């Protein structure tokens, strides 16, 4: 009884930063039936008291008439009892409404919703011992987030723990007809923690350099809530022509260069198109098979050298990256249209001896950079219209902390990119160049819908911006750098 009272007090205040606690031992129907019994009992008591008051008033008035006294029927006690009934019914109705799923008070609304959800997924049910199993909820409601903790007592399977976030979001969306999304989720040992929001993520526009993040380590804002960080140094972007891959690559490249003046970009353009021609202004570029092999070979040598520097002191206990230890910046390798590059390599390899074939050399070095480059502060982003397993094997994909599919994701692509069924991916608006994203290390329940940043070519022309950034670095700029810096919105 004391515990239930404490929990009721924790839920009473409509606005509170403290955790509201709710232990559920029985179904809502059972609770409602008990409330109805109490309500009927109270109504019967009120009715009896009211009838007695009416009888007493009538008896007084009748006796006054009999003894010849002038008297009027006293109606005030009756009016007071009727008024009391009206007030109690109004308060009870308001209380019931404010603790329903329609409540404008979200903290009180969550109590009813979590109770209903517990029944909906059979969290409280009769066990084999004849005892009713129960669960405990804790929740904190803020302006844009609801933090929920569920204590199951360890009686649910690991599959259920993994899936409960998705089921809770689906239930809340159905019951409230509002937007809900999981921001974070952790589970284990009978404890499930879920952070929810019903505010949609905001799409950002890249139109000023001074609005971009500066950071020694990678920190690139993708949406209002999502960022690409050093937790996800390797990335994959796939999508058909016209879905916005190049615009997203522009955002990543410009943001990466602004992040840290010591950062360097290497580029491989499998189609020798716009991106490759543009990136010549600020970094090394490869646009055919031989140049691509030379470039990844150079990066592998840099990676090996950086590992030697990291391990030069055998007594150093720090497990940190090269950038964190030596403050020399991060190297980003952008491989655009990898499938086209591989196709050209394999075509050329048909005329070569086995020992001279280009693709095996290139593939081995690229996979080495993807799987080993993180600690040496070398990041790789691979992009293309398609990315079959024959081009990017599974062992490499597991190292890709950022995976993005733009446009409609086919069943095969869903499996290849995310390892998920096509039906498990969120709905996306392809008209707005939307897609699906996965960022590793964030305790996400699964891939999320994604509206990539909008790159404003009018205010931040890509080639001119690269020219200006190259000029800022001292040397390596082009004659256009001084002119470009006057026109770009950087301050």
* CA atoms within 13 A of residue 468's CA, in its CB half-sphere: 17
Phi first, then psi: give them for residue 418, nearest 5 degrees.
-110, -10
DSSP 8-state symbol, 126: B
Residue recorded with tokens 């929990």: 7
User: Rounded to an integer, what distance in angstroms lies between the CA atom of residue 439 and that of residue 445?
Assistant: 11
246 annotated ligand-binding residue: yes
Single out the residue of 455, 414, 400 nearest to residue 228, CA to CA.
400
Question: Max CA-CA distance within the chain?
Answer: 132
Task: Residue count of the chain, please give it.
Answer: 491
Query: Contact at 8 Å (CB) between 46 and 84?
Result: yes
User: Rounded to an integer, what distance in angstroms lies between the CA atom of residue 150 and that of residue 454?
Assistant: 38
Beta partners for residue 450, in sequence order: 435
240 annotated ligand-binding residue: yes
SS3 274: helix
User: Rounded to an integer, what distance in angstroms lies between the CA atom of residue 124 and that of residue 235?
Assistant: 43
239 annotated ligand-binding residue: yes
109 annotated ligand-binding residue: no
Query: Contact at 8 Å (CB) between 265 and 476?
Result: no
371 annotated ligand-binding residue: no
Beta partners for residue 348, in sequence order: none
411 annotated ligand-binding residue: no
Query: Contact at 8 Å (CB) between 352 and 293?
Result: no
DSSP 8-state symbol, 40: H
| Beta-sheet pairing, 191-197 with 181-188 | antiparallel
Query: Contact at 8 Å (CB) between 209 and 250?
Result: no
Sequence-distant (≥ 6) Cβ neighbours of residue 45 within 8 angstroms: none
Query: Contact at 8 Å (CB) between 439 and 228?
Result: yes
Tokens of 400: 């890709």
Query: Contact at 8 Å (CB) between 338 and 382?
Result: yes
User: Rounded to an integer, what distance in angstroms lies between the CA atom of residue 471 and that of residue 252?
Assistant: 19
Phi first, then psi: give them for residue 332, nearest 5 degrees.
-115, 125
User: Rounded to an integer, what distance in angstroms lies between the CA atom of residue 118 and that of residue 36?
Assistant: 22
Start-to-end Cα distance in the chain: 63
3-state secondary structure 306-373: HHHHHCCCCCCCCCCCHHHHHCCCCEEEEEECHHHHHHHHHHHHCCCCHHHCHHHHHHHHHHHHHHHC
Q: Which residues are annotated as a binding site for ATP?
A: 239-246
Q: Which residues are annotated as a binding site?
A: 239-246
């Amino acid at each position: 009884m004391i515990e239930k009272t404490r929990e009721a007090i924790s839920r009473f205040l409509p606005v509170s930063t403290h955790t509201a606690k709710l232990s559920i031992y029985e179904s809502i129907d059972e609770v409602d039936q008990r409330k109805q019994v109490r309500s009927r009992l109270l109504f019967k008591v009120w009715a009896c008291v009211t009838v007695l008051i009416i009888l007493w008033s009538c008896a007084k008035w009748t006796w006054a008439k009999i003894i010849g006294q002038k008297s009027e029927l006293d109606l005030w006690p009756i009016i007071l009892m009727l008024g009391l009934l009206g007030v109690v019914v109004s308060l009870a109705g308001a209380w019931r409404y404010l603790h329903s799923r329609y409540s404008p008070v979200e903290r009180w609304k969550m109590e009813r919703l979590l109770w209903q959800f517990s029944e909906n997924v059979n969290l409280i049910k009769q066990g084999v011992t004849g005892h009713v199993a129960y669960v405990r909820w804790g929740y904190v409601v803020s302006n844009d987030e609801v933090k929920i903790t569920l204590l199951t007592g360890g009686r649910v399977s690991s599959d259920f723990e993994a899936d409960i976030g998705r089921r809770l979001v689906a239930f809340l969306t159905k019951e409230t007809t509002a937007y809900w999304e999981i921001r974070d989720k952790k589970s284990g040992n009978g404890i499930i923690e879920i952070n929810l929001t019903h505010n949609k993520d905001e799409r950002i526009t890249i139109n000023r350099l001074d609005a971009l993040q500066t950071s020694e380590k990678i920190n690139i804002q993708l949406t209002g809530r999502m960022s690409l960080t050093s937790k996800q140094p390797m990335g994959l972007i796939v999508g058909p022509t016209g879905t916005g891959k190049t615009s997203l690559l522009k955002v990543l490249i410009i943001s990466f260069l602004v992040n840290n003046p010591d950062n360097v970009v290497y580029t491989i353009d499998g189609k020798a198109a716009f991106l490759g021609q543009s990136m010549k202004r600020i970094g090394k570029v490869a646009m055919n098979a031989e140049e691509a092999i030379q470039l990844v070979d150079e990066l592998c040598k840099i990676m090996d050298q950086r590992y030697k520097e990291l391990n030069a002191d055998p007594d150093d206990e720090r497990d940190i990256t090269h950038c964190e230890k030596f403050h020399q910046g991060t190297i980003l390798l952008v491989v655009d249209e990898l499938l086209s590059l591989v196709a050209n390599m394999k075509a050329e390899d048909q005329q070569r001896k086995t020992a001279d074939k280009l693709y095996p050399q290139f593939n081995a070095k690229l996979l080495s950079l993807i799987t080993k480059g993180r600690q040496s502060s070398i990041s790789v982003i691979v992009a293309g219209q398609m990315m079959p397993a024959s081009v990017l094997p599974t062992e490499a994909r597991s190292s890709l902390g950022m995976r993005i599919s733009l446009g409609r994701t086919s069943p095969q692509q869903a499996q290849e990119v995310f390892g998920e069924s096509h039906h498990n991916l969120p709905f996306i608006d392809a008209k707005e160049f939307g897609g699906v994203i996965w960022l590793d290390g964030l305790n996400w329940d699964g891939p999320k819908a994604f509206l990539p940043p909008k790159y404003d070519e009018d205010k931040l022309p890509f080639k001119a911006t690269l020219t200006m950034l190259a000029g800022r670095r001292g040397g390596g700029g082009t004659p256009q750098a001084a002119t470009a810096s006057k026109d770009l919105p950087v301050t």
